Amino acid sequence: MDRRLVTVAIIAASALAACATPVDNGDLDAPDSPVARDDWEPGSDALTALMEGTLELQDGCLYIVGSGDTEGLTVVPVLTRALASWDSETDTLTYAGQDYAMGDEVAAGGGWGEPNDEMTLPDACEPDEWGQVMYVQDDTLAPMDARGL
């Protein structure tokens, strides 16, 4: 067999294995978790709105406080369990393997909607002034300037 084909096969198998590895969600589903979450599957249909801002922990709830085109908007991001974990000791969100501290800039793709029974919304979290949260349906929270697009 051609060595290049073997190399490609090994890389492909490694990538598939990495995708199949379950995420250690840390304290994400703890009773006092500040993170709203659901079971959206990365790679499935997704909404395409964009929310840019900074992560803030306010009164026991994780929010994105808008900047740029979304300045003045504060929203509860609903993150997928498939990519998110929470460390309550350091107040660190890990999303798709990247750590985010409070005050870090993020950009989240997805869309707005009312909370529903398929999500976990912490008691401390308040939807925005229209009664909506942001369903994050993106495989990264990296700011747009860091995405290399």
- Look at residue 56 and tell me if it is in a domain: yes
- Supply the pLDDT for residue 18: 44
- Look at residue 122 and tell me if it is in a domain: yes
* Inter-residue contact 75 to 51 (CB < 8 Å): yes
- Supply the pLDDT for residue 149: 60
Q: How many whole angstroms separate alpha carbon 64 and alpha carbon 75?
A: 5
Q: Give per-residue pLDDT as tens, 59-74.
A: 999 999 999 888 999 9
Domain count for the chain: 1
- Look at residue 2 and tell me if it is in a domain: no
- Look at residue 15 and tell me if it is in a domain: no
Residues 6+ apart with CB under 8 A from 40: 46, 80, 82, 135, 136, 137
Position 144 pLDDT exceeds 80: yes
Residue bearing the bigger pLDDT, 55 or 26:
55
Closest to 75 measured CA to CA, from 65, 84, 86, 88: 65
Q: How many whole angstroms separate alpha carbon 132 and alpha carbon 87?
A: 26
- Look at residue 47 and tell me if it is in a domain: yes
Q: How many whole angstroms separate alpha carbon 103 and alpha carbon 67?
A: 12
Range of the domain at 105: 23-146
Position 142 pLDDT exceeds 50: yes
- Look at residue 118 and tell me if it is in a domain: yes
